[in-house]
Structure 1
Amino acid sequence: MLIGVEPEISIRVAGELLMFLPAARRVAVNRVPFDGTSTLGHLVESLGVPLPEAGPMTIGGAAADPSTRPEAGDEVHVAAVPRPQPVPLEPGQAAPSFLLDVHLGTLARRMRLLGLDTAYHNDMDDPALVVQANAERRVLLTQDRGLLRRRALWFGAYVRGSRADDQLRDLLDRFAPVLRPWTRCTACNGTLVPVDKHEVEGALRDGTRRTYDIYGRCADCGQVYWRGAHGDRLEEIVRESTRLVASVRGDGHPRAAVSET
């Protein structure tokens, strides 16, 4: 080691992860000081990449994990999370469930439209979100990078995109979940059940009662549903989502994460 030269580690970050780095460090290879004690996970997060977004890591081409302590001069590569990403399921759990932070309300409604078990509260703070995600084994979806860095969180994911359409595509591309459209209440996440028109007509406006004959009702909150003026748009969302998930699941090969645009 040269006297007066501070030891360093080179960390190459996949292009899909550069969005998490500060603009001044948004380059493929960053050199970070070697202190002899920091783990690989700590160094990666010090660059700005939340660990839930970091995929396979290598040191000098050999597999490593976040608890590994690199040595001076090591060359580290951090890949993006492969897609589709599997989610650990509890015994008896057929499909992953999700919890969204307060800023993703529109995405939550679209996920429920597709039949995804999606919890959402517009008044829940970060600690409470982590508690619920852990207790119910829900994937926490957020655009808050600090929230993803909470050590207590069992599983989280950053949602890319500023528009609900883009956010939904990112979610479906990342997890390729099984879809069951029209089975959940978009208001509360409860289960929808078919209901005879005469059972709900007292809650309907005259125009709705005359125009529609097929209805569903939430078994939890009692919200009544029918194919309304926005039906075509909702059908389009379901069709596009079904096609996307089919293409991702049918690929058979994990794919790197997509970049935020």
Structure 2
Amino acid sequence: MARAVFRFYEELNDFLPPERRKVAFDYPLDRRAAVKDVIEALGVPHPEVELILVNGESVGFDYIVRDGDRVAVYPVFESFDISEHLRVREFPLRELRFVLDAHLGRLARYLRLCGFDTLYRNDFRDAELASISAHKGRVLLTRDIRLLKRRIITHGYFVRSDRPEAQLTEVLHRFQLQDRAAPFRRCARCNALLRDADKAEVAPRLEPLTRRYYDTFKVCSGCGQVYWYGSHARRIERLIERSRQGGDPAPDAPCRSGG
């Protein structure tokens, strides 16, 4: 039987059984198959892959794996510009925007508080999420590996952690967003942009202690929610700073394949 040798690097090993992590292993070729199909059959969602080298040459997802091929599969490179070698996607996203699945409601809130355009509803079906990601140019963040393997999705990421604050650090680190965060630019509730508001405008809506101790406010241009710089704001800023300083985004929960 024809065989190829595969080797996965860095965090792509999260999706493999222990005996296949960080080592080269044989894979039997019992049928004609594109490298994308083999990669996903081995458990790795294709949006997590940034570079595929076959016998040292960069290839796209449609490459047909052949007997004797040596296939090296890489995630995103953070320290090197490899743009001239990329073959797996036709285009980058000009503006980084997100859509999140139902498991990531708290993360959606945190991303919005960091200023990132984040679409979230807890009643989105998988087909809707995939369509929004593919046709609206949004990166899909999910805890569902099967969803991430849908063919039409080109830009996505499996969130490893199951703790919201760690998830935020992980996503900021993965997409190198630490210096692009703009805290309290968007509404955590509806994703609309915030505007500055005079204290007199919002005073009737404030609790007595808030009215007494705070003077700077923002109001959502969509739903009208009022924001002020309190302990939650400082918490978000600390999380951003932790990620900027290289805080550990390592996963603390196993991969989950269910919806």
**The two structures share one fold, judged by TM-score above 0.5:** yes
Which structure 2 residues correspond to residues 90-129 of structure 1 after superposition, within 5 A?
A: 95-129=95-129
- CA root-mean-square deviation: 2.4
Matches within 5 A, 1:154-193: 154-177=154-177, 178-193=180-195
Q: Distance in 1 between matches of 2:209 and 2:10?
A: 54
Give the Cα separation in 1 of the matches to 2:107 and 2:121. 12
Q: Is residue 12 of structure 1 aligned with residue 7 of structure 2?
A: yes
Determine which of 232, 251, 254 is the counterpart of 1:260: 251
Cα distance in structure 2, aligned partners of 1:112 and 1:225: 13
Q: 2:215 aligns with which of 197, 209, 213?
A: 213
Q: Aligned partners of 1:82, 1:197: CA distance in 2, in Å?
A: 46
Corresponding position: 1:73 with 2:75: no
Deviation at 1:259, TM superposition (A): 5.8
Distance 1:221 1:105 in 2: 18
Task: Say if 1:184 and 1:192, in contact at 8 Å, map to a contact too.
Answer: yes
* 2:59 alignment counterpart: 64
Q: How does 1:225-244 map to 2 (within 5 A)?
A: 225-241=227-243, 243-244=244-245
| Displacement of 1:211 | 2.0
2:43 alignment counterpart: 48
Identify the match of residue 206 of structure 2 among 204, 207, 214: 204
d(CA) in 2 for partners of 1:206, 1:228: 15
CA shift for structure 1 position 235: 3.4
In structure 2, distance between residues paired with 1:152 and 1:230: 37
1:88 counterpart = 2:63: no
Query: Which amino acid is the alignment partner of residue 92 of structure 2?
Result: P
Q: Counterparts of 2:192 and 2:18 in 1: how far apart (Å)? A: 43
Residues 50-108 of structure 1 deviation map (CA, whole Å, 9 limit, x = unaligned): 11112311222222222111221222111222237998235xxxx31111111111111
Give how far 1:165 is off: 2.7
SS at match of 2:102: coil
- 1:199 counterpart SS class: helix
Contact 1:19 1:259 in 2 (8 A): no
Counterpart of 2:256 in structure 1 is none
Partner of 2:135: 135
Cα gap change, 1:140 to 1:236, in 2 (>3 Å): same
Structure with more relative contact order (C-alpha pairs < 8 Å, separation 6 or more): 1
Indicate how the Cα distance of structure 1 residues 239 and 60 shifts in structure 2: closer, same or farther if over 3 A, else same: closer
Separation in 1, partners of 2:52, 2:24 = 14
Cα distance in 2 for residues equivalent to 1:29 and 1:63: 18
Shift of 1:36: 4.7
CA distance in 1, matches of 2:106, 2:123: 15
Comparing 223-232 and 144-153, the one that deviates more? 223-232
Q: 1:148 maps to which residue?
A: 148
Instruction: Give the TM-score of the pair, scaled to structure 1.
Output: 0.83
Aligned pair partner of 1:33 in 19, 28, 37: 28
Structure 2: gaps (5+ residues):
84-90, 253-259
Taking structure 2 as the reference length, what is the TM-score of the superposition? 0.83
User: Gaps spanning 5+ residues in structure 1: where?
Assistant: 1-5, 248-257
- Residue 225 of structure 2 corresponds to 223
Which has the larger Rg? Answer: 1
**Amino acid in structure 2 at the alignment position of 1:176:** Q
CA contact (8 A) 2:4 2:69 kept: yes
Task: Report the Cα offset of residue 231 of structure 1.
Answer: 4.1
Alignment: residue pair count:
240
Mean CA deviation greater in 24-33 or 138-147: 24-33
